[in-house]
Structure formats: C-alpha cells, structure tokens
Amino acid sequence: MTEEDILYQNGDYWVCEAPQGKKGFEVYRDTITHAERCAIIGYEGYYGFALAMKECDKRANKLSGFFMKHAIQMLDNELTNVLNDLHDLTQQWHLFQQLGVTNAKNYASTCMDLSHRMALAENRKRDILKALDVLNT
C-alpha cells in the first residue's frame, strides 16, 4: 500500500479502498512503526466512501470541515451530471418512440440499451443521495 492509495485522511486516520477481492473501504490509524486497520466499511461506491469518511472523522474525534465540504460539493456535482444523463436518456427514449419501428431487431437492442443505461444512472443517483445523506448528518 502506498500514499497514493489514501483517499481521505484526518489526523492519524485515513481511508483506502478494500484490497482486491473484497468490497468497500477500510479505515487505518497510523502508529509509530506501521498502520493498523481499525474499521471495515462493507459498502461500495459513494455511499461506502461517505461512511468511511464519517468513521475516519469520528475516530479522529473531529470533523474536517474543508474536506467534508469538498466531498459534499463533489457529490453534488456528480448528482447534477447523473440527473443530466437521465434527462438526455429520457429525451433519447421519446425520440426513439416517435421515429417508429423500422426494424424489430434494432428496436429491441435499442430499448435494452437505453433501459440498461437508465437503470445504471438511477443506481448512481440513489448511491449519491445516500452518501449525501450520510455526510449531511
């Protein structure tokens, strides 16, 4: 593990992604000779990272206002991007429906592609909203 693996730090405590083969994040505490893992967050994505940052701050016994504001702003920006993506996908869906069906194979594959992309965007939106809820409490 290197310093580049540190995603967030508050005092002697820091967060990194769980090692390959495991999901989520881990919180470590620096000691004189090495770092000790003190928490495992089993959630992935923005929600898991938000929980890991909260755990890190709780263990450091102080909130890092600057980093927390930065994380909230980043998530707000990502949420805006996701909402724009959903809007664009909805517009594509309506346009596709208006053009009518000329080829059943193309129709089925386009429907599947658009619905898959919309589902992914909805999942990202849900994850971001959960993470924002964690950070704002």
Domain ranges of the chain: 3-60, 65-135
Report field, pTM of the whole predicted structure over 0.85: no
What mean pLDDT do residues 31-36 have?
Answer: 90
| 98-134 pLDDT, tens digit each | 776 555 567 777 777 878 888 888 888 888 888 888 7
Q: Is 102 helix (H, G, I), strand (E, B) or coil?
A: coil
Q: Which residue has the higher pLDDT, 60 or 111?
A: 60
Which pLDDT score, from 0 to 100, does residue 64 have?
56
37 pLDDT higher than 90 = yes
Share of the chain above pLDDT 70, in %: 89
Residues 6+ apart with CB under 8 A from 22: none
Query: pLDDT: is 30 or 93 the higher one?
Result: 30
Whole-number Cα distances in Å, 85 to 12, 67, 92: 39, 27, 10
